[in-house]
């Protein structure tokens, strides 16, 4: 027996509570019978919007890592730090675990997330039928870990607050912090715009 998708049965999954229900016939807008959220069959222009957010994040990824994220001013002078210089300072000062955490969250996670979303987009555009379950798991993983890449901004904010409270120096955020925050937000928007149901569409037609 051929596999049958929910869409082929006329069912729609609620984006709020995940309940499968059948939209009212001839209705312009339907609501979930359980939570009342609007029922949406597919995310409009999913691939195009996801690519747009992703390309913008790729463009900003370079300045986010090359531009200084903060400037420290003290009686002894001023100093600007990039993400990599901050990681190097933490490493050489003996805070290896914190340096590794910042490297993973600020450098590795955004890069891997961009590569992962790119792979998903290319696969659905090529209508690939290869390992759909694994690609669906990859999508869920990308959505789950994306928020952790904001860790570096949290570190900068906490550092600024602590230093200002103790009157040790003056710290100001620099353009790199803004670029990095934009990368995090854009990759999250790219993952949210992607419709994972596109992964399964070629299989339905292959069985049809």
22 and 125 in a single domain? The answer is no
What pLDDT score does 155 carry? 62
Residue 23 Ramachandran class (φ > 0 left, ψ -120 to 50 alpha, else beta) = beta
What does pTM read for this prediction? 0.81
77 and 18 in a single domain? The answer is no
Q: Strand 77-81 to strand 12-13: parallel, antiparallel, or no bridges (unpaired)? A: unpaired
98 and 27 in a single domain? The answer is no
26 and 111 in a single domain? The answer is no
Range of the domain at 118: 44-207
115 and 158 in a single domain? The answer is yes
pLDDT band at 1 (very low <50, low <70, confident <90, very high): very low
Average pLDDT over the chain reads 82
Residue 160 has pLDDT above 70, yes or no: no
Using a 10 angstrom Cβ sphere, with 0-12 exposed, 13-18 middle and 19 or more buried, the burial of residue 149 is buried
48 and 33 in a single domain? The answer is no
Pure H helices in the chain: 46-66, 83-92, 96-103, 109-125, 132-145, 151-166, 175-193, 201-207
pLDDT band at 148 (very low <50, low <70, confident <90, very high): low
Residue 13 has pLDDT above 70, yes or no: yes
**What is the per-residue pLDDT across 44-57, written as a single tens digit (0 to 9) for each?**
899 999 999 999 99
Distance CA 190, CA 192 (A): 5
36 and 56 in a single domain? The answer is no
57 and 36 in a single domain? The answer is no
Number of domains in the chain: 2
Average pLDDT estimate for 144-163 = 64
35 and 116 in a single domain? The answer is no
36 and 64 in a single domain? The answer is no
Q: Which of 39-43, 106-110, 164-168, 196-200 has the lowest mean pLDDT?
A: 164-168
Highest mean pLDDT among 62-66, 68-72, 116-120: 116-120
């Amino acid at each position: 027996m051929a596999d049958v998708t929910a869409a082929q049965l006329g069912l729609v999954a609620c984006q709020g509570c995940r309940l499968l229900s059948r939209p009212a016939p001839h209705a312009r807008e339907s609501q979930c019978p359980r939570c009342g959220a609007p029922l949406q069959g597919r995310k409009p222009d999913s691939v195009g919007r996801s690519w747009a957010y992703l390309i913008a994040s790729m463009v900003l990824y370079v300045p986010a890592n090359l531009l200084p994220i903060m400037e420290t001013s003290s009686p002894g002078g001023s100093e600007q730090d990039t993400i990599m210089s901050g990681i190097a300072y933490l490493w050489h000062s003996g805070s290896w675990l914190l340096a590794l955490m910042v490297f993973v969250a600020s450098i590795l996670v955004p890069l891997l997330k961009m590569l992962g979303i790119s792979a998903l987009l290319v696969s659905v555009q090529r209508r690939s039928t290869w390992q759909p379950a694994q690609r669906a798991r990859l999508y869920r993983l990308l959505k789950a870990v994306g928020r952790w890449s904001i860790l570096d901004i949290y570190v900068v904010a906490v550092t600024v607050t602590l230093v200002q409270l103790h009157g040790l120096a003056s710290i100001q955020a620099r353009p790199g912090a803004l670029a990095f925050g934009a990368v995090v937000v854009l990759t999250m928007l790219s993952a949210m715009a992607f419709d994972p149901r596109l992964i399964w569409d070629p299989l339905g037609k292959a069985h049809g």
